[in-house]
Amino acid sequence: MLSIICCPFAGAGTAFFRPWRRLAVPGIEVVPVLLPGRERLIEAAPVHEVAEAVRFVLAETAERVAGTRVAVFGHSSGGVLAYALARALLAETGTEVVRLFVSGARGPEVPPPHRATGLPAADFLARVEDFAGYRHPALADPEMRKLILPTLRADVEMYENYRHDPAERISVPITAIRGTDDELVSATDVLGWAAATSEGFDSVELPGGHMYLTEQAPDLLRLLLASTAPAATRENR
């Protein structure tokens, strides 16, 4: 059994990955990460630091993936959370992490071009739309915006304040994925992940822009499955 732990981009929850669970083939369990401040945890205070988010996710998911092979996936700002989570799974639980997938994400040493943290609400939302390539429809409603904004601010702060130690490399192979037409994260940006691993790196492109995965979920899941198949299985294809 392969468990794919899916880390959300800023403001997202498990709902984004729900269709993946229907598309997954036998032998694969899609495990979406739910952070505080959204969905059934809407009343919980959101987390503001990657280390705090990792501690929360470990407590929530370690038992669910126990005894399985594990891959970790993170899109956009979720890439750094996925990286930090994969490190913690190895160091703190001894989980077999077979591969880390970072999607539409700059390398951990590549800072975002412009910060959104601390900006007034209107400027903050415009800046987030610039670097995320989308705006959640719920933000158009004043009441929903008031409810969502604190969590979105916390997610963006967590991402923008993350600092990677270049001396530390994860002992897990990394696959970086981007949309061929992504205007927010370049092919050069994703190559920054090569320096974050000591176990091999590859880069793949799928059709689409920054949010390519909304249209390419079946192809993306096939890619995740093929990339995590045991070596003997791949050699026999």
Is residue 8 in some structural domain? Answer: yes
Whether residue 97 contacts residue 86, with contact meaning beta carbons closer than 8 Å, is answered with yes
Whether residue 128 contacts residue 116, with contact meaning beta carbons closer than 8 Å, is answered with yes
Is residue 213 in some structural domain? Answer: yes
d(CA 52, CA 162) in angstroms, rounded, equals 12
Is residue 150 in some structural domain? Answer: no
Q: Can you give the pLDDT at residue 134?
A: 66
What's the pLDDT tens digit per position in 32-44?
A: 999 999 999 989 9
What's the pLDDT tens digit per position in 75-119?
A: 998 999 999 999 999 988 888 899 999 999 999 887 777 788 999
| Other Cβ atoms closer than 10 A to 205 | 15
Is residue 35 in some structural domain? Answer: yes
What's the pLDDT tens digit per position in 122-157?
A: 898 888 887 776 677 777 788 888 888 999 999 999
CATH code, domain carrying 47: 3.40.50.1820
Res. 234 pLDDT band, cuts 50 70 90: very low
Residue 206: alpha-carbon gap to chain centroid: 17
| Other Cβ atoms closer than 10 A to 235 | 8
The rounded mean pLDDT for the chain is 88
Q: Can you give the pLDDT at residue 4?
A: 95
219: left (phi over 0), alpha (psi -120 to 50) or beta: alpha
Domain count, the chain: 1
Domain range for 174: 2-111+164-226
Is residue 95 in some structural domain? Answer: yes
Q: State both tokens at 214.
A: 């909304």
